[in-house]
Every structure is written in C-alpha cells, then in structure tokens.
A and B are shown apart, each in its own frame.
Chain A
Amino acid sequence: MKRKHKRLTFVLVALLLLGGAAALVLSAFEENIVFFQSPSDIAAGKISDDRRFRLGGLVEEGSVDKSAGETVTFRITDTANTVRVSYTGILPDLFREGQGVVCEGRMESGVFIADEVLAKHDENYMPPEVADAIKKSGQWQGETK
C-alpha cells in the first residue's frame, strides 16, 4: 500500500468511527433524554402518557402515606399545582416532607408512577431541577455550605 493510500485508510476508519458514534449518540438522545416537568406543566396538559419524564418539586407537608407497606404515595407541589405520586421501594435517606425531590417515571391515569426517587444525597450536590423548583416556588432558603 502506498503511503497516501494508507493515510486514506486511517482517515476513513476514523471517519467511520465518528459517524457511527454520532449516529449512536443521536438515536440514544432521541430515545433516552428525559425531560423535566413541574406539576404545573402536567396541569396544563403538556404530558402524554407514554413518555417517561422527571417530575420535580416539594413533597407536600402531610401528604406522605406509607400505610400500604412498600408502596408509598405522596404529593409533589410547586405551590401552584400538585401531582399525586406512587412509588414502590425504599425512599432515599434524605426524603422528607417539605423538601425538594425529583421522581422519574410516567403518568398513569392521573397518578405519577415513579420508579426512581431522588433526593439530594450530598449537601454540595443536589439535582439541579430541585433547586430551581424550590426557587421558583419561593421557598429557597439557600444552601448552608
């Protein structure tokens, strides 16, 4: 193989690889990006039932119901609207009423079925959506670092 051809081979392989990676990234983005919504977005009817999304806000005071054993229900609020959430599993250590939370899952007949619940797990790192949701609702007390 001539030097020129060799270089061409390398360039082609590299391009092929980049092209493949780009295709992978694009298709993965299309399928796997999860949008963040607030209870108000749901009230406005922006959500279709088949799409996974993240729901964030504050856990409403007095709304946590653990009477069904491993399935917990609670309401998430952004002070304007609330959504009922059902979750089967162990809630994160820092899940508390009145605190910010992000749930991932989908809507099923008016109830948000969460398969993942995230509360902040380190005082220096909290899901960005929670911070904003709390800020928007005016209950932001600031982080004491």
Chain B
Amino acid sequence: MIAELGHFALILALMVALTQGVIPLVGAQRNHAPWMQYANQSAILQFVLVAISFACLTHAYVTSDFSLVNVVQNSHSTKPMLYKVSGVWGNHEGSMLLWVLILAVFGAAVAMFGRYLPPALKARALAVQALIAVGFYLFILLTSNPFQRMFPPAQDGQDLNPLLQDPGLAFHPPMLYLGYVGFSMAFSFAIAALIEGRVDAAWARWVRPWTLAAWCFLTGGIALGSWWAYYELGWGGFWFWDPVENASFMPWLIGTALLHSCVVVEKRDTMKAWTVFLAIVAFSFSLLGTFLVRSGVLTSVHAFATDPERGVFILVLLLIVIGGSLTLYAWRAPQLKSTGVFQPISREGALLLNNLLMGTAAGVVLLGTLYPLFIDAVSGGQDKISVGPPFFNAVFIPLMTPMVAAMAVGPLLAWKRGDLARALKTLWLAMALALVFGIATWSLQSGQSPWGIVGVAIGSWLAIGTLIELADRVRLFRIPLRDSLRRLAKLPRANWGMTLAHFGLALAVFGITGAGAWKVERVQSMRPGETVNVSGYDFRFDGASEKEGPNYLITEGRFTVTKDGKLIAELAPEKRIYTVRQMPTTEAGIHTLLSGDLYAVIGDSNADGSFVTRIYFNPLVVWMWIGALTMVAGGALSLSDRRFRIGAPKRSAMPAGAQPAE
C-alpha cells in the first residue's frame, strides 16, 4: 500500500511538473502575473510529492518490504540500519529518485527564498527546472520504477553490494548529486536569461550562490569518493582515472570555470555569452556523467546496444537538453552585449585563462574517457584499447601546472588593466622559496620522477603566493599593523573564500605530489613475528584472527609499526566475507601521520601459515583530504557572504515591463 502511494505521488509530481514547465513560460511571455506565480506553488507542491515518494521507498527499505523487486535486489534483513537507509540510493532506480528529489529541493528553495528575483526570470527558471524534471520523472516511471512489486514476495533480499556497505560510500552519492543537480540551477537561470535576452551583474549574483553550492558539494563528493577508494579498495591509491571518476570530475572542472567567469560578469559586465555557455556545458557534463554511469555504456558498448532501453532514453534526454540549449544559445547569445573592455593582462584576462585551461582539461578528460568507447563502437568490437592513468597524467599535469602557476598571479592583477611586473615583484618571496623547496626536493630524491620537484615547487609557490596576496590586500607592513588587522577583519567573506580555496588547492597539490611521486610499496609473504621495513618504519606482522561482524566474517591481521624501536601505531587490516553474497572485500589498515600514511593490506593465507601482505608508505597523502576540506570550507565561506544570499540582491533598474517583486 505504501509503495503504491509512493508510485502514485511520483506520477502526480510528473503531472505537476508538466504544468509547471508550460504555464509560467507562457505567463512570463505575456507578462501575466498569476501564471508566473504558479511556478512558486507548483515547485513547492512538486517537492512535497517527490519527498512523499522518496519517504515511501525509504520506508520499504527500513521495514525490509521484500515484495518490492528493488528492495529484494539491494537489501537484506540482517543489514545494519545505516545501510538499509543508504541502500535506497545504492542502486540505479533509487539513485534516480534521489536525483529528482534534489532537483525538487532546489526548485522549492528558489520558489521560497527567491523573493527578490524578477518574477519573469524566476518563472522561466522554474519552468526550465520543471522540464528537466519531466525528463527524469518519465525516465524513472517508464524504465526504472523502484516501486515495482513482485509476487510472491521473496523470503529475504539479495543484500546490497558489500563494497557499498561503507560509511564513506553511504554519503558519497547524495553529495555528488547535490553537486550535479546544483548545476541544473545555473543551467535553468542561463536558459531563462537567454529567453529574456538579458544578462547583467544581478543575474551573475543570483547564479553564483547556486554554482558555489553545487561546486562545494561536488568537491566534497569527489573527495569522499576518492577517500573511499583509498581505504576500501586496498590499492594504495585514491584516484585511478576510472571512467566513473572522470564522469564526476568533468563537471567539476567546468563548474570551477563557471564559478570564476560569474565573477567577471558580476564585477565587470563582460564575458556574458561565455558564462551562459559554461553554465550550459557544466550541466551537460553533469547529465553526461549520469549517462556514463547509469546507461551501462561503460560496462560494454555492446551491453548498451543489447539492452538499450535506459541508455537510449538518457541519450535522447541528453541530446534534447544539450542540443536544445545550444540551439537556443546560438540564436540568442549574440544579443548579450558586453560593455566592459579589458586588456589581456588583467584580472579578467587571468580568469579567462583559468576558464580556457579548465575547459581544455575537461576536454582532454572527455576525450580519454570516450575514446575507447568510440574505437570499440566503430571497429565493431574488434579493436579494444584502454586509456589509463599514464595517458591522463601525461596530459593533465602539464595543463594544470601553468594553471596553478597563474593562480598565484591572477588575484594580484587589477581589473581592466593589470601590471604583471608589479605582481611578480610582489611575489618575489614566493618565487624564491618555491625555487629553494624545488632544489631541496631535487637533492633529496634520487633519480625519480621530475614531477615530484615540479609539484613541490608549484605547490609552495601557490601556497605562499596566496598568503602574499592576502598580505598585499591588507597592506601589511606598509601601513601600521593595527590598520592592517582592521582591514583584515573587514575583508568580505568572498575574499576569504578565494584565499582559503586557493590555499586548499596548494595543500592538495602537496598531497597529490607526495602520493604520486614517492609512494613506496612492498609485497611479501609474512609469517607471524616477521618484520618488514618500509621507508624507515618497521612493520611487524603479529598474526591474524577470525572475527564476526554484523553481516560478514572477518579475517583481521595485526601489525605493530615501530620506528627506531619506538611504537608508532597498530594497524588492523581486514579481509571480510559478506555472508549473503559470499563476496570478499578489503579494509586497509591505515594510520595517518602528517608526513604520510602507514597503510597495510592483508591478502590470502598460504599453506605454511604465512599471509600475503601489501604495505605502503604514502607520503603526504593526508594533505590531499585537508586540502579538499579547505577548498570546500572556502566555498562555503564565500557562499555565506551576505551579498550572495539568494534573496538579497536587487536589480538596480527593473527591466521594462517587469513587476516589482512583492
């Protein structure tokens, strides 16, 4: 009964979305206020309906209702409660329901808090949101219905994939989707602006919080996912350039570019068409990410071809959204006149360079991700290639190095016309220290990858450069210290946000460099009592024992790590067998130090009582997570800037014919 209620609520939501996609658009065109108003009520109603639907599915999972196919396939009565709940979105159908729920949440947020938005813009943006929602409702109802019943009901479920039964991955999909779907807001505002033929500073100020929020969630989601891969897969790495990872990384790259170009539109009234274009591309990449992960095209082009229902549906949706929006763009974008002019060497120029590099980076990641599929498809499955980490590293690092180098300089350039010589002079200390650290690294490491040296140099350049920029902004040492501190306290939060985010990236660069260039790995068979030395740490294997978890059996290995006879840590890597699916998983034993992670994995036992063990020393890897958290904190701080509250900014001059809000 409750499942039917959920199904019914979803159908009603589709109906509401259909009307919301049409009536406000017509209303905005004819300047008919009640019709525009309708968008508000319907957006909130849509949210209520989807929330009911989602609650019904959650209820089915929590109560283990094994008359639902979806619950049977992805749950089990012995599963801990956390994973019963996270199982709701740990599968295809449920995750799509989560997607539309988040879409509806954002729509309702605009309806409720966007008081000062011009009614026409608001109505159009909400209508575009509703049209996107229609596509996804249809997708769920026609191809991926989570409320499908089965008769007779099953005795028990088939359990959730054990790899997903993990706190990190329980919250990874919602974070990621908040990011993906957040870009839909920027997209909807971009389409609304194209219909209106008007983009101005106020528009950028409305779009920016959505983009920022989406970017924060996406950054957090990606970091959470790679952290999960780091401790759960037991391969000692955190980023594998896997297509599924790339699918979330491409929207991040474009979203980062969008974030920066919004600033230019807001402050300088230029780069408008470009910003609208980026908003379209960012959401297109989000959709593409969904398509790649959800259609099965990655599993095999042929699997996609033989079971095409879902894949073709998303592909058509993708074509309509991307094709339609780009057509509209080609038609209307020439009307978006920019007034601000600027020299190539200027803040605008630096932000444009950021955009170009981010866009190019997203392009090459797209190429590397799709190329194997393309080759497979055109050769009819005869030629198979794989494009792995070596390709991405070879392309991505040279693109990001100048990008990080420019990041320290850009904020020091003035708007309109910057002084590069002055900026570089201000940065002399950063340059000197980067050189010193680079040379020190070169002398310490012997005969290894040059990228380690580059990474250290460029990371310190950005970190110190960012601090110098902050000091320059408050005129430290050039005016009395007390005045500097007063200036510091008065800095807008958006400025702090930028400083934090840039500094966070510098920290992440250290983490990526350390783990990428100097990871040490040892694989060996060890008997209890044996010791192996990795990077100066003695790992003593103390044996393994059998234990029992809530729904799995554990083989737990014990390691004692000492350095020069002093106890550093005890590690307890696990090998688990999940009883329902008889599927083994690995839990790495990790002890985090600021200088690097001690990381141990236990493998199979041998006939002589020894175990295969894999031990890593991952230098500096913790800075990767600290850096990502700092970036998210920077974004959140910038988001809290009063100027960007959704309701706060008013358009200075009301567009002709528009009703004043409220």
Contact = CB atoms under 8 A, between A and B. Distances in A.
Contact of A124 (B299, B352, B371, B583): B299
A42 to B, nearest CB: 15
Interface stretch (B393-401, B477-485, B650-658): B393-401
B630 to A, nearest CB: 28
B398 to A, nearest CB: 6
Contacts of B395: 21, 24-25, 28
Interface in A107-123: 121-123
B384 A36 contact: yes
A18 B614 CA distance: 42
A54 B344 contact: no
A66 B394 contact: no
B364 A89 contact: no
A88 B523 contact: yes
Contact of A34 (B244, B299, B302, B388): B388
B299 A125 contact: yes
B647 interface: no
A70 B532 CA distance: 14
Given A17-B357, A124-B299, A128-B298, A69 B384 contact: no
B525 interface: yes
Contact of B301 (A27, A90, A91, A128): A128
A86 to B, nearest CB: 13
Given A122-B161, A128-B299, A131-B299, A10 B344 contact: yes
B163 A121 contact: yes
A29 B387 CA distance: 8
B356 interface: yes
Interface stretch (B37-45, B190-198, B501-509, B599-607): B599-607
Interface residues of B, number: 59
B234 interface: yes
B280 to A, nearest CB: 19
Interface in B372-426: 372, 376, 381, 383-388, 390-391, 394-395, 398-399
Contacts of B523: 70, 88-90
Contacts of A54: 384, 386
A88 B7 CA distance: 52
Contact of B612 (A24, A69, A128): A69
B303 interface: yes
B356 A17 contact: yes
Nearest to B244: A125
A67 B607 contact: yes
Interface in A1-53: 1, 3, 6, 9-10, 13-14, 17-18, 21, 24-25, 27-29, 31-36
A125 B245 CA distance: 13
Contact of A36 (B296, B303, B371, B386): B386
B298 A24 contact: no
Nearest to A3: B341
A25 B367 contact: yes
Given A10-B344, A69-B610, A90-B612, A132 B364 contact: no
Contacts of B244: 125
Contacts of A32: 387-388, 390-391, 394
B394 A17 contact: no
Contacts of A70: 523-525, 612
A28 B397 CA distance: 12
Contacts of A128: 298-301, 303, 372, 376, 384
Nearest to B229: A121
Nearest to B372: A128
B384 A14 contact: no
A54 B383 CA distance: 12
A138 to B, nearest CB: 15
B143 to A, nearest CB: 13
B489 to A, nearest CB: 38
Contacts of B368: 25
Contacts of B357: 17
B584 A94 contact: yes
A10 B399 CA distance: 18
Most chain A CB atoms below 10 A, which of B300, B343, B352, B525:
B300
B353 to A, nearest CB: 7
A70 B521 CA distance: 13
B477 to A, nearest CB: 35
A28 B583 contact: no
Given A128-B298, A128-B299, A128-B301, A24 B356 contact: no
Contacts of A129: 384, 386
B334 interface: no
B531 interface: no
Contact of A69 (B385, B524, B614): B524
Interface string B567-595: 00000000100000001111000000000
B363 interface: yes
Contacts of B367: 25
Contacts of B607: 67
24 contacts: A6-B341, A10-B344, A17-B356, A17-B357, A18-B360, A21-B363, A34-B386, A34-B387, A35-B385, A36-B386, A90-B523, A90-B601, A93-B583, A104-B388, A122-B163, A124-B92, A124-B299, A128-B300, A128-B372, A129-B384, A129-B386, A131-B299, A132-B300, A132-B302
| Closest 9 A/B residue pairs (Cβ) | A69-B525, A36-B384, A90-B603, A28-B394, A32-B390, A32-B391, A128-B300, A93-B584, A9-B344
Interface of A: 1, 3, 6, 9-10, 13-14, 17-18, 21, 24-25, 27-29, 31-36, 54, 66-67, 69-70, 88-91, 93-94, 104, 121-126, 128-129, 131-132, 135, 145
Given A88-B523, A93-B584, A125-B244, 13 more contacts: A1-B343, A17-B356, A21-B364, A29-B371, A33-B385, A35-B383, A54-B386, A69-B524, A70-B525, A90-B523, A121-B163, A125-B298, A132-B302
